[in-house]
Structure 1
Amino acid sequence: MAENRYANAKCFVFAPDGYEEITYSELCRRCEMDQSYEEKKYIPLHGMLMEVTPEQYQEFYRNRRRQKYLDERSKDNGDISIDMLTTPEFNGADILVSSEDIEEQVVLRMMVDKLRSCLLMLSEEERELLHDLFYIGLSERDAAEKYAVSQVAIHKRKKRVLDKLKKMMDC
């Protein structure tokens, strides 16, 4: 049976309508009185003992051995876990970077690179118009004065250049 460390523990044994809660001393008494209790399997959970099926018992201890193996291997390899970095003053998870942020940054970087290469495929006049409108911030009316054309003509040119740029970006 279990060690004396469970002397003050609650124990849960199978009953017809679920689990029955008993004391550890009651469990020991039942083991002495009823030979079938000696064959039952128990696992420790949060300082308590719980009766489980043989399959559950085997799975529990298989997982426990696996975790012990992984812990030993991590120690041998010098692995560091986020939990090791957590202190009362600092949460180790705070140093993690959200993968969504990284994905967004990568997508943005790829789009900017593609935009730069597409801008180089435009004519000098088209690039200059976009520069004036979007970089310098000229209004269509001010750009019309600069190029000595109507505001409607500037608007149409801008739309045509942006459509051309959009098609290049989609390829």
Structure 2
Amino acid sequence: MDAGKKKIWVRGQFVEVTDEVYTAYMRGDRKMRYFEADLKSERPVYGSNGEIKQVLPSREDSLDRLMEENARQFAAAAESVEDVVIRKLAVDKLHTALMQLTKEERDFICALFFDEKTESEVAKGLGVSQQAVHKRKNRILKKLKNFFE
């Protein structure tokens, strides 16, 4: 064998190569063994007195576990772009419809739906019966419904 030449095993036979090729091959071979074996096995970490200090778990993960974890992590967390756009358009249309109402009607609807007051609470504030508030609410909602049709 010439000086500066080494042999590597390729496809069932030894091949003579230069030192640079040998070094690159061995680096790649070691990296391949690291991914194939070292990551897949537990490794003990020894203390200064030679006893096992801790065990590093395998870094190999199963596809099933990753899928299950991913499903939990992202379940219903993200809304689709289409849903966001549809909701935005509906809100814009509702805002336009509310602007078609008189100021009193808008304040009335805001008290019931946005301030979450009951019909009885609104009735007390206006000094009318709950039935009157209910009828007025239905009239205003019918106006809004007609706007959307």
Q: Please give the TM-score of this superposition, normalised by the length of structure 2.
A: 0.46
Q: Which has the larger share of helix? A: 1
**Greater relative contact order (Cα 8 A, min sep 6): structure 1 or 2?**
1
Q: Please give the TM-score of this superposition, normalised by the length of structure 1.
A: 0.41
